[in-house]
């Protein structure tokens, strides 16, 4: 919708310099903006980019001066930009109702204000809350529950009894509630350990494309409120992820691990089973946490096996100089008349 610079300043609590009446109807980068797009700059280094932009209205830190633009001064322009975008560009939303091709079990409960797209399947006893939007080809298993204001993009599978609270957004290809990967070996084969637990996704969680969140084996798998999960992530059975935590793409978390609140896990990191990551820890990309290990609150870890980032850097710097260190040891051996213990270098890779 279109707002004025003045309305936006009021909404954001920003201090406005320039034309209060300038219209704003979208968001863009400075280079791609039209006159009505809002843009932001985070640093005075980008003042030129904003000055050259066609955008009439700029979000920037206090003290930024750009002639001929409406300037909205805020302490965190990127944050204000995200808030402004959510306000200016409300999510597209179909009209409520059930597409005639949807197959809805008689015992399912669909709120009147929910929207079900074509070829949605809702099984016995499932519930869909008010204002939720279930897009094409979604499968909501028996007894599963979708809260209020949720959005399931096309092709999401909720296994039986999966529970989603409110304002959960689930992207295409996600599967919530698949069986955990647990077997007991005996008599020459793998027997499936019972996978009869639940899975609960709390308020305001977003889950990216083709991610898998398994149900618990006996207990539950839980994702805390406000946590954001990227594409192609694996969350195994009985994992508990806290609130406002970030799991970047292709992260894998093994069974019964507990990830705290405000944790950041970078891409492709992997966790053995029964790991513990305390609040506000940061796990580097491709790091590997050994089974049963604990990462302390606020700690930053890297590498496989994961170790404190400072220690990793120090070791890696020394590793980089290892060929030189070996030469120095050789020189010492020659000087002291020690017979060299050096072997021929093996071809290893």
Catalytic residues: 237
For residue 17, the minimal CB distance to a copy of itself (Å) is 23
For residue 246, the minimal CB distance to a copy of itself (Å) is 7
For residue 51, the minimal CB distance to a copy of itself (Å) is 18
Binder of a copy of itself out of 49, 61, 228, 274 (CB under 8 A): 228
Q: How far apart are CA 320 and CA 311, in angstroms?
A: 14
Candidate ranges 3-11, 50-58, 62-70, 209-217; the one touching a copy of itself (CB under 8 A): 209-217
Q: How far apart are CA 61 and CA 81, in angstroms?
A: 12
Please, are residues 152 and 171 in contact by the beta-carbon 8 Å criterion?
A: no
The residue among 20 and 119 lying less far from a copy of itself, judged by its C-beta, is 119
Burial degree of 194 (CB within 10 A; 0-12, 13-18, 19+): exposed
Candidate ranges 6-14, 16-24, 48-56, 200-208; the one touching a copy of itself (CB under 8 A): 200-208
311 phi/psi in degrees, rounded to 5 = -65, -40
Q: Which residues pair with 59 in a beta bridge?
A: 40, 72
- Does residue 297 interact with a copy of itself by CB under 8 A? no
Binding residues for a copy of itself restricted to 9-68, rule: CB under 8 A? 26-29, 32
Binder of a copy of itself out of 196, 292, 296, 298 (CB under 8 A): 196
72 phi/psi in degrees, rounded to 5 = -105, 110
- Does residue 208 interact with a copy of itself by CB under 8 A? yes
Binding residues for a copy of itself restricted to 72-131, rule: CB under 8 A? 76, 78-79, 81-83, 85-86, 89, 92, 99, 101, 103, 117-119, 121
Location of structure tokens 């206090």: 62
3-state secondary structure of 9: helix
For residue 6, the minimal CB distance to a copy of itself (Å) is 21
b (16+ CB within 10 A) / e for 125-161: bbbbbebbbbbbbbbbbbbbbbbbbbbbbbbbbbbbb
Binding residues for a copy of itself restricted to 255-284, rule: CB under 8 A? 266-268, 270, 272
Under DSSP, the state recorded for 140 is E
Candidate ranges 44-52, 62-70, 107-115, 151-159; the one touching a copy of itself (CB under 8 A): 151-159
- Does residue 294 interact with a copy of itself by CB under 8 A? no
Q: How far apart are CA 207 and CA 168, in angstroms?
A: 8
For residue 160, the minimal CB distance to a copy of itself (Å) is 8
Binding residues for a copy of itself restricted to 311-330, rule: CB under 8 A? 311-329
Q: How far apart are CA 274 and CA 182, in angstroms?
A: 14
Q: How far apart are CA 72 and CA 58, in angstroms?
A: 6
- Does residue 203 interact with a copy of itself by CB under 8 A? no
- Does residue 143 interact with a copy of itself by CB under 8 A? no
């Amino acid at each position: 919708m279109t707002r004025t610079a003045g309305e936006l300043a009021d909404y954001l609590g920003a201090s406005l310099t320039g034309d209060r009446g300038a219209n704003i109807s979208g968001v863009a980068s400075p280079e791609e903006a039209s006159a009505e797009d809002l843009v932001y700059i985070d640093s005075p280094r980008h003042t030129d980019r904003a000055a050259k932009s066609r955008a009439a209205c700029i979000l920037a830190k206090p003290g930024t001066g750009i002639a001929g633009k409406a300037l909205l001064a805020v302490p965190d322009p990127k944050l204000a930009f995200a808030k402004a975008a959510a306000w200016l560009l409300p999510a597209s939303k179909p009209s409520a109702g059930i597409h005639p091709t949807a197959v809805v079990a008689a015992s399912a409960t669909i709120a009147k204000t929910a929207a079900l797209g074509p070829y949605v399947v809702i099984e016995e006893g499932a519930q869909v809350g008010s204002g939720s939007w279930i897009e094409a080809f979604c499968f909501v298993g028996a007894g599963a529950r979708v809260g209020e204001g949720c959005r399931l993009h096309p092709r999401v599978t909720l296994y039986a009894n999966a529970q989603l609270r409110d304002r959960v957004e689930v992207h295409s290809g996600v599967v919530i509630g698949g069986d955990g990967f647990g077997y007991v070996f005996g008599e020459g084969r793998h027997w499936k350990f019972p996978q009869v637990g639940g899975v609960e996704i709390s308020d305001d969680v977003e889950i990216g494309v083709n991610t898998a969140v398994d149900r618990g084996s006996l207990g539950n798998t839980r994702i805390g409120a406000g946590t954001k999960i990227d594409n192609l992530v694996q969350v195994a059975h009985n994992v508990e992820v806290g609130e406002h935590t970030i799991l970047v793409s292709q992260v894998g978390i093994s069974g019964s691990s507990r990830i705290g609140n405000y944790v950041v896990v970078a891409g492709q990191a992997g966790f053995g089973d029964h790991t513990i990551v305390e609040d506000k820890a940061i796990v580097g990309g491709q790091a590997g946490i050994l089974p049963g290990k604990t990462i302390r609150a606020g700690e930053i870890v890297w590498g496989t096996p994961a170790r404190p980032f400072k220690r990793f850097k120090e070791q890696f710097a020394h590793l980089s100089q290892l060929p030189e260190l070996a030469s120095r040891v050789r020189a010492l051996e020659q000087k002291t008349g020690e017979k060299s213990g050096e072997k021929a270098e093996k071809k290893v890779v």
